[in-house]
Amino acid sequence: MSFLWFFIEVFINTIEYVWFYFLLRSKLDNRFSFRQITGLMLLIVFLSIQNYLQLPSLLIIFSTMIADVLYAFLCFQGAVSEKMFWGCAASVISIIGNEFVFFTGYVFSKEQLSSSLEVSRTRLLFMLIYVAFISIIYYLIIRKRSSNFQVPFGYRIAFIILVGAGVLSLDDMLSVLIHTDSYAMKPLGNRIIISSGIYMMILICMLYLFGKVSEVLQENMALSLELQQNKMKKSHIEEIENMVQAMRVWKHDNKQHMDVIQSLLAEENIKELKKFVESINGESIDSFGLISTGHKTCDAILSNKIMTAREKGIDTKYEIVFPNSLPVAEIDLCIILGNLLDNAIEACLKTSDPANRYIHISIKNHRRMFYIKVVNSSSDKYLYSKGKLLTTKIGPEHGLGCKRVEEISSKYDGFCNFEAQSCHFTATVMFPLQK
């Protein structure tokens, strides 16, 4: 291969991988980084060297697919399933492009397909058709909005095996077609082109079904979220009922407490009186909790979560002032507070240093907005997809709390933001106050 053709190969590979880069940017992580550009250049060089050395096509496809998946994993943020799916996209699009080119050449060209393997005008024409076709495919995929892919580990392994087998099998069929492209073997070539077309459709359908399976799993996660929120509402109601019952008991005991106080005053036993007053103050705190804003449901949730955090050794500070009229339904506000504080407690417990576990809660009016801010220590382990934070927890119901917070914020024309930094995590929710 002459250097001129080598540079043409490099140019074609560059166009193909630039499209692949923008595909990963659109589907995984839209943030620019030099690591992505460095990885892109290494991919182009890697594929160009393989083509220059004229290695066996099966080896080139297999090694390139592995390199593409590694590029997605090492240079982009996102869920494992998404990286695996879109990392295989370049190999799948490439084999579909080759299938289209050779099918077009087989039907419309009078020259032997084997001439496309040599330096010739046929090869150059096929390369241009290939670039135009895959550019259209990449453009359509990038423009199409897609949901997040979240599938179990077994599905990921099956996917990578099936895609790899499908791509290698199609390439093998094309290789046979090229070497049987003669008038004497035209019937066999027809059968091969039909079989490879069917196999390609099966591969495309498999990718489509993989996306559908992911959508079904997402729907199941949504149902799990609804079930989780119903459980949380039930828990909130139980906390309120316990608080009301504790108030009734305290009121019942209050008369006896007053009788004891009056008796100690009559005896002028100041020392015992102080001890008794301190003891009943402790009882009242344990009964009614820490927070009293006038909104009993929110008081119960906040008090319960703050006491839970402190019992687990988490330094918890708060500044809480509620407006007289809330801009959001109290039950929805409880869901937000419960999710944010549960996540904060879990994140604190994952930090390696128990002495550095803290939660700071700020709830107040701020510039005509009802402002909720929760800051907690974190372990500095975050996962991103398309610039958004993903949960690092395992299980179908995990990671749904933040989605629920976003849904409620949007419902009341509010705003929410989750900001991850090296040693702490900040969740902010704001609602416009009614005029």
Whether residue 120 has pLDDT greater than 70: no
Residue 160 Ramachandran class (φ > 0 left, ψ -120 to 50 alpha, else beta) = alpha
Whether residue 344 has pLDDT greater than 70: yes
Place of tokens 């416009």: 432
Q: What does the block give as tokens for 381?
A: 């382990």
Whether residue 395 has pLDDT greater than 50: no
pTM score, whole prediction: 0.53
Q: Which of 392, 389, 393, 398 is nearest to 420 (CA)?
A: 389
Place of tokens 């687990």: 312
Q: How confident is the model at residue 385 (pLDDT cuts 50, 70, 90)?
A: very low
Domains delineated in the chain: 3-220 (no CATH), 290-435 (3.30.565.10)
The pLDDT > 90 percentage for the chain reads 14
Q: How confident is the model at residue 49 (pLDDT cuts 50, 70, 90)?
A: confident
Phi/psi of residue 388, each to 5°?
-105, 150
Q: CA angle, corner 145, sides to 142 and 151, nearest 5? A: 105
Q: How confident is the model at residue 191 (pLDDT cuts 50, 70, 90)?
A: low
pLDDT, tens digit (0-9, with 9 covering 90-100), for 249-279: 666 677 677 777 778 788 777 888 788 777 7
If you average pLDDT over residues 170-197, what whole number do you get?
60
